[in-house]
Amino acid sequence: MRRVAALLAHHPVLDRQGAVVTTAITNLDLHDIARSAFTFGLTDFFVAHPIAAQRELALRVREHWTAGSGARRIPDRKPPMEGLRVVESLDAALEALGPAEIWVTSAKASDGARSYAEARASLSEPGPAVLLVFGTGWGLAPEIAARARVKLEPIRSPRPDGFNHLSVRAAAAISFDRLLGPL
């Protein structure tokens, strides 16, 4: 099985008009995605933000759950939060991870997207680590998607109107399960 890590990107991402922006880190994303990543055996959960004050916020949240009162009150959160790695950018995460392929997700369909079944099968083949990148806001900016070796198909809604606007926390958990969960 190939090594799999995840990255939550806060820049460059899109706003609802399609402009490239930087989004704010949210506490809920940090520990919910960390717990999902830990549950499904990912080796690392990176959070990338270009603004130092936002990275410091993420580190304070991590510290609370790994060494502070959160670790004492709810010790089950400590191991997942120890896997949280706060970095400045996608490139910093790749440097920390070592040789890796970038895989991206999107709520929008794109040509050449790989099914989760195909992607799951490729994880059992020899190859470099995989960095599964999730975007905040309204999704990853095109320059991140352009670097991807694999684009995963969208998580589809069974609703007749096609509504598909999951939180990044929910999309990450579903993706981890489809790629690494029991069959």
Cis (ω within 30 of 0) for the bond into 80?
no
Question: Sign (positive/negative) of CA torsion 125, 126, 129, 133?
Answer: negative
pLDDT of residue 163: 86
H or E element in which residue 35 lies? helix 27-39
Q: Across residues 3-25, what is the average pLDDT? A: 98
Residue 48 near residue 8 (C-beta atoms within 8 A): yes
pLDDT of residue 108: 80
DSSP assignment of 87-125 equals ESSHHHHHHHH-SEEEEE--SS--TTPBPHHHHHHHHTS
CA distances from 162 to 15, 41, 148 (A): 21, 31, 26
Question: Sign (positive/negative) of CA torsion 123, 129, 134, 139?
Answer: negative
Strands 13-14 and 150-151, bridge-based pairing:
unpaired
| pLDDT score of 111 more than 90 | no
CATH superfamily of 4-180: SPOUT methyltransferase, trefoil knot domain (3.40.1280.10)
| pLDDT score of 140 more than 90 | yes
Share of the chain above pLDDT 70, in %: 100
| pLDDT score of 172 more than 90 | yes
Share of the chain above pLDDT 90, in %: 91
- Which tokens is 3 given? 């090594």
Angle between helix axes 168-180 and 116-123 (nearest 10 degrees) is: 60
Q: What distance in Å separates the CA atoms of residue 149 and residue 107, rounded to the nearest whole number?
A: 17
Q: What distance in Å separates the CA atoms of residue 46 and residue 120, rounded to the nearest whole number?
A: 21
Enter the pTM of the model: 0.96
Q: Across residues 31-58, what is the average pLDDT? A: 98
